[in-house]
Structure 1
Amino acid sequence: MSNKKSQYLTGVRAGIPVILGFVPVGIAYAIMARQAGFSVFETVFMSVTVFAGASQMMAVGMYVQRAGIVAMILATFILNLRHLIMSTCVVNRMKNEPIKFKLLATFGVTDESFALFTTEKREKCSGLYFLGLITVTYSSWIVGSAIGAVASDFLPTIVTASLGIALYAMFIGILVPNLTHNLKLGLLVILTAACNSVLTQFMDSSWALILSTLVCAVIGVFFVDLNKQEVTEDEN
């Protein structure tokens, strides 16, 4: 097996656990969109072109409330500002990839692909690895959306509501094992969560998330040694 193919397949295998979260949440989004009056095509097409579950659900909710297009675009832009930070971290690990590839790869950056890619050993963090990873995340999101769009008339409400929990459980399952190698990184995550909880009491939750991420990222520059984590993983 060629080295390039191996890198891609390694990324595919790393992304398999994401299916357990993306498919059910994609179904939940699609049912919400169908109930808002979207057609099957519109529901799936939104997933193909946007690929951001939280933003899609918020946009659908605002559509139901008859919000204007400008308000919907601005709200989703603010919600996704964190992707600027995450994309920067991801492309920084693709030092040998051309700029065109890096720009294309940023479309596939989600909370889950970011967590998997940035906590992986640096020698595995190639562009092909990330491509394999987002192949799984992107396709599973579209499949979930398609299933939900078609089956929206058959699933009971209680099932729809329970599907939204799967994404959070999956994200915790991905993140926690990688934090066990670095206590300081784990503490930084807890600090970020605490900071976000406090700020949400004084500002919009989207701005609170962005500000807490920026502040704690700056703290992490002086507090967390990611190189030490990578050496420990190599030794294991």
Structure 2
Amino acid sequence: MTTPPVSETPTTIRVLLADDEEMIRHGVRMILQHADGIEVVGEAVNGAEAVTLAAELRPDVALVDIRMPVLDGLAAIAPLIALDPRPQVVMLTTFGDEENVTRALQAGAGGFLLKDEGPDELIRSVRAAAAGDAVLSPGVTGTVIKRMLQGGAAPAPSGTPGATGPASAEDRVAALTDREREVLAMLGAGLPNLEIGLRLGIGVGTVKTHVAAILEKTDSDSRVQAALLAHRAGLAS
């Protein structure tokens, strides 16, 4: 697992689009290029090209279609999140593709966005991803989270082969400090960094530091995985 670096939200958010449908890329690009502080720096037609361009262009956010030729979005997640600097990977999907969304979140994607979301939601999601927050489309979030909680979503650390139940979750959070456990519980509640900071009386940068430590100590690839771990460990309802 590669822990994402702790950083402030970039002044200009650099976005990479990866989708084999030209009309989808064109529509997303048209929306984002008219949003303040967002720049589309590249477009890819498959997962392999997305990884190559991400390594070259160093985007802050990669919007990646799940279904693409050559290398699909699911297979592209691992090499994308292994890059340094690591882009925030948000999967583009269609309604009813819950199984693939679940697999994407298990693989370390930072969230998912329905292709038919409106312009305001698209822009908000890109900004949330760049800030390090999870991006989960409301339309299918409940179904996907329920599926992941029932199906062993967060993989166990390499040191505990086969451990996927509540006991392993408790073991994984055992090394966290009291403040990190508080932050993890709030991740489990779906709170963004800004709200976590306000509730705890700390800055967003400090929240990001705690989140990075949580991901490292619990061997989680994304805050979505960490949020699910909070539920498994009984830290969030």
- The alignment's TM-score, normalised by the length of structure 1, stands at 0.30
Return the index of the structure with the highest Cα Rg: 1
Q: Which has the higher strand share?
A: 2
- The alignment's TM-score, normalised by the length of structure 2, stands at 0.30
Q: Which has the higher helix share?
A: 1
